[in-house]
Amino acid sequence: MHIKSAEFVCSNTKIEKLPGPTLPEYAFIGRSNVGKSSLINSLTGKKGLAKTSQKPGKTQLINHFLINDDWYLVDLPGYGFAQASKKNRAEWEKFIRRYLVLRANLQCVFVLVDSRHEPQKIDLDFCYWLGEQGIPFMIVFTKADKQSKIKSDQNIAKFRAALLQWFEEVPAHFLTSAETKLGTAEILSIIDGINQQ
């Protein structure tokens, strides 16, 4: 898919204030600092579109970006941000989960997982929760440029094996890098396919 336009629409904490659910929507979720905002910029080819930071906890709102006047990419705050207060964390989690459960036009959630790490409980639990809720999701392994392909593939295999304990069929996955754009064409192609359905 060719990206002709990518525009910031709005930031929200209240799902009642989101744009009307008339266009297909794809949300990026994952731990703080995993690279959600960077991957959105890489996918759209617009560097400053979603705000990124070396410090975790940068994205704190539900951010809508309109792509090709036809569908939305949504950048979400990360989970598992250690420096946030317990109360803050619980509140974010509540509103993100509410968004994911209630958003009628949400086609697929992309769960971003750092390809450098062995499977983490927080990511596996989140995938399990999505499965329980019946929310369609795919897994995006990030920061592939930071280590060898062999290492990434080992971590991916372990993550998939862990998911297989819960799911009969493990969802599709992608190995990506916001730096080299590895995997970005595949993600856009999957989105294009869903949009055509």
Q: Rounded to whole angstroms, how far apart are CA atoms 32 and 92?
A: 12
The nearest distance, CB 166 to Mg ion, in angstroms, is 27
Stretch that binds Mg ion, among 13-21, 28-36, 87-95, 141-149 (CB under 5 A): 28-36
- Two tokens, residue 177: 């890098």
Q: Judged by CB under 6 A, which of 44, 59, 63, 155 binds ligand GTP?
A: 59
The answer to whether 192 contacts ligand GTP (rule: CB under 6 A) is no
What residues pair up with 13 in beta bridges, in sequence order?
none
The nearest distance, CB 57 to Mg ion, in angstroms, is 9
- In the complex, which residue's CB is closest to ligand GTP? 78
Q: Judged by CB under 5 A, which of 37, 41, 42, 176 binds Mg ion?
A: 37
**Sheet-wide strand order for 25-30:** 6-12, 62-67, 71-75, 25-30, 106-114, 137-142, 173-175
Indicate the pairing of strand 137-142 with strand 106-114.
Answer: parallel
Q: Judged by CB under 6 A, which of 25, 33, 43, 106 binds ligand GTP?
A: 33
